[in-house]
């Protein structure tokens, strides 16, 4: 990398660490991990509050086995339940429970405040637009590769 590229990369990494550290700490204070919140919020947005394990693992960039272990811990806490996937005999569905939805609804305002404090409120509308454009470029490029 040339010096400009190196500085940009390092700045991006520092940004990610700072934002993730702050929001993760705030979620932990209310009894959730970042992956917990990601799973709960995704399920809350899906039809019938259900997703396949495979789809959720892909969304999170996790292996199915890693998400399966995490889902087991969430299931033990009553946040979700698993059901057989009729379309995939080897897969399963993750289903948000009433308890999981209640936990998410209780956590959402604090999480939004955390995201604002650690990220949104520190940026201008122009910064946010630039980040959205950049994220689209990176994410769009990623879709073209396995």
Per-residue confidence band for 87, with pLDDT thresholds at 50, 70 and 90: confident
Give a yes or no: residue 133 inside a domain. no
Give a yes or no: residue 137 inside a domain. no
pLDDT per position as a tens digit, 99-142: 999 999 999 999 999 999 999 999 999 999 999 999 888 877 55
Q: Please list, in sequence order, all residues whose beta carbon lies within 8 angstroms of the beta carbon of residue 42, skipping any fewer than 6 positions away.
A: 51, 56, 59
Give a yes or no: residue 92 inside a domain. yes
pLDDT per position as a tens digit, 20-36: 999 999 999 999 999 99
Give a yes or no: residue 138 inside a domain. no
Give a yes or no: residue 79 inside a domain. yes
**Could you list the residue range(s) of the whole structural domain that residue 88 is in?**
3-120
The total of structural domains in the chain comes to: 1
- Predicted TM-score (pTM) of this structure: 0.86
Give a yes or no: residue 110 inside a domain. yes
């Amino acid at each position: 990398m040339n010096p400009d590229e190196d500085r940009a990369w390092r700045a991006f990494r520092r940004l990610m660490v700072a934002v993730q550290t702050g929001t993760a700490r705030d979620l932990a204070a209310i009894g959730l991990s970042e992956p917990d919140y990601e799973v709960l919020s995704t399920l809350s947005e899906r039809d019938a509050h259900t997703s396949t394990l495979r789809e959720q693992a892909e969304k999170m960039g996790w292996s199915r086995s890693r998400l399966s272990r995490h889902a087991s811990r969430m299931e033990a806490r009553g946040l979700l339940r698993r059901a057989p996937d009729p379309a995939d005999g080897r897969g399963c569905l993750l289903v948000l429970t009433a308890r999981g939805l209640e936990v998410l609804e209780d956590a959402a305002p604090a999480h939004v405040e955390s995201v604002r404090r650690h990220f949104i409120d520190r940026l201008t509308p122009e910064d946010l637009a630039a980040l959205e454009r950049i994220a689209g470029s990176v994410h769009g490029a990623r879709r073209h590769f396995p």
